[in-house]
Structure 1
Amino acid sequence: MTKPLFRDDAYLREAQARVVDITGEGGIVLDGSIFYPTSGGQPGDSGQLSWAGATLEIATTVKGEGDAMILLPAEPVPLPAVGQVVQQKLNWDRRHRHMRVHTALHLLSVVIPLPVTGGSIAADKGRLDFDMADAPEDKETLENDLNRLIACNMQISTEWITDAELDAQPDLVKTMSVQPPRGSGHIRLVRIGLGDETADLQPCGGTHVANTSEIGRVRIGKIEKKGRQNRRVYLHLE
């Protein structure tokens, strides 16, 4: 029901769309959304909708049934009618920070080449959980390796493969707890780097920066033990 405009252009900050449904809880469903819905550890986007002299704040965005994405107002206010054309405006600074953290986490999975058991993203930090019995001995070296990768100014791009092609390349899937969504016949890959200079390639539906230079320097924070075989590694934007 909702075209994911953010998937084609993660830098789209404003766009028009038409209201196609209002949920029983007061959520707004559009025919096209620049707002990313909560999934894969990345928070739902916030921002504004405006129409005919009215404006409302969007607190977050979640997935609905099928392909629907539901925009949740920050407070109870009059809503646009079904069929109304509205202007979407993204809370861009928050989204861009999510993009920076998300891309940095992909590179963290490169410098720690172990299966990922979980993860989450915030506007100033993120974390990945690894199937790792012992914590890295040298956190400073880990941080330096990660920042060297970021400083390579690598391009980030997306491509699509079929379910069968993914089945033939199971090593592309780094996450143990979350598998790429199937059923549509094709799966989106995010590539960091080009050709033989590719640093990372894995299935992902989230939003990312266009070049690693946008991430800026990062800092490795706490490394926590989360069970016998799990270590949680925090990453902070500086």
Structure 2
Amino acid sequence: MQPTQKYYEADAYRREADAVILAAEPDGRGGGKLALDGTVFYPEGGGQPADHGTLTLPDGARLTVTDVHEQGGVIWHRVDALPDTAAPGTAVTGRIDWAWRFDKMQQHTGEHILSGILHQMFGAENVGFHIGSDAVRMDTSVPISAEGLREAELAANRIVWQNVPVLITYPTREELARMTYRSKKEIEGQVRIVTIPGADVCACCGTHTAATGAVGQIKILAAENYKGGVRLSIVCGERALLAAQAMRQRQADIGALLSAKPSETAHAVHRVYDEYTALKFAHFGLCSELFDALAAQVAPGADAIRIVPGLDPDGLHRLAARLSEATTGLCAALTANEKGTGYCLAQAGGDVRALTKALNTALNGRGGGKPGICQGSCAAAPEQVETFLKENHTV
């Protein structure tokens, strides 16, 4: 089968094209895939998702393109329906979802700019790249500090503001041998070079904006250490604007809750955190006093099952352990939670693992631990757990 002519490589802004069906393969579920002699649809590859859009037949039937892949130079378009009229030799008109495509062009071009800048500034190689539905993921080969990322982000946006052209060239092997360019793998055949003056020279098959100004803005949303380098989450263009608007709204919500101006929210959060820490410390002390009082009420050798509202897992563990200091009987701390009941079972010199397993089986619970103390939660009310323990505990 003849290779598919890639119209998107010559003109990433071309939105539709007439073509002829070369082959049609049904999938047995009403849909299938079509190979065309030429296409404006970009196939998934190089970290960039495939285009979406429609293929329109001569009779007006419109087939929705849900995925596009290249195999051996032939580009296959997966469609949601494959009528008999979509046969080899039939003319079709392909139209891409332009909003989808332009977003990917903005993200991909922005990634080139930032990757090139990081390479210039820190010698960082881009060892992983994917345009996701929410953000672009970039993995670098070397660690980069927060300050370094801020400097690189500013330098990348300066390239955007300069609105330099994004150049596509197809150098000969001799020309390529004299060039310095980024590439994550060895490439056979003709190499397509994307050059962004002042920022990047990279081998790439994707679609890009004609000039950097169309990227709009490049914003790093998050950075984390990853495999000896840094994993970045970035957004460009409309995504960057939407992210800024969302951050502004969150800032407004936080300010309203804290009765603070936008410029004072960080100070207000620190104040609330300090207050929370003080309250948590006071709560710890009050719980210790309560646990001591509850332990004082337990007769030596007696079981001690106590339901105390509002305890967190640490509180449950502390109460059960404190009760077990007062008696050799079964001790249990119970509290209601979103799953039903949080529990902690303990027994000085005993083994509560079998009882814990039985509780989990009977009341749809999960948990475990050591012979003397086990902890978990189950889908039952505290009173039901208390009844189960009283009926099933044997010394």
* Band of TM-score, shorter chain: 0.7 to 0.9
Q: How does 1:109-128 map to 2 (within 5 A)?
A: 109-113=115-119, 114-122=124-132, 125-128=135-138
Q: Give the greater-gyration-radius structure (CA).
A: 2
Other-structure match for 1:78: 83
Other-structure match for 1:235: 234
Q: Deviations over 1:177-220 (max 9, x none)?
A: x33x31x3x21111113xxxx43221111110001111102211
**Larger helix proportion of the pair:** 2
Aligned partner letter, 1:207? T
What's the secondary structure of 1:147's corresponding residue? helix
- The one of the two structures with greater contact order (alpha-carbon pairs below 8 A, sep at least 6) is 1
Structure 1: where are the runs of 5+ without partners? none
Q: Deviations over 1:7-39 (max 9, x none)?
A: 111111011000001135421100001000011
Other-structure match for 2:250: none
Q: Is residue 36 of structure 1 aligned with residue 46 of structure 2?
A: no
Distance in 2 between residues matched to 1:134 and 1:148, nearest whole Å: 20
Moved more, 156-165 or 9-18: 156-165
Other-structure match for 1:6: 8
Question: In the alignment, is the contact (CA less than 8 A) between 1:46 and 1:91 conserved in 2?
Answer: yes
Q: How does 1:19-168 map to 2 (within 5 A)?
A: 19-23=21-25, 25=27, 26-51=32-57, 52-64=59-71, 66-73=72-79, 75-78=80-83, 80-113=86-119, 114-122=124-132, 125-168=135-178
In the comparison of the two structures, how many residue pairs are matched?
A: 225
Distance in 2 between residues matched to 1:59 and 1:50, nearest whole Å: 14
- Give the share of equivalent positions with the same residue, in percent: 29
- Cα RMSD of the aligned pairs, angstroms, is 1.8
What's the secondary structure of 2:136's corresponding residue? strand
Shift of 1:136: 3.8
What's the secondary structure of 2:171's corresponding residue? strand
Other-structure match for 1:172: 181
Structure 2: where are the runs of 5+ without partners? 241-395
Moved more, 35-44 or 123-132: 123-132
What's the secondary structure of 1:112's corresponding residue? helix
TM-score, with structure 1 as normaliser: 0.87
Shift of 1:233: 1.4
Question: In the alignment, is the contact (CA less than 8 A) between 2:160 and 2:215 conserved in 1?
Answer: yes
TM-score, with structure 2 as normaliser: 0.54
**Larger strand proportion of the pair:** 1
Change (3 A) 1:96 1:123: farther
Shift of 1:134: 4.3
Moved more, 218-227 or 31-40: 218-227
Distance in 1 between residues matched to 2:230 and 2:88, nearest whole Å: 47
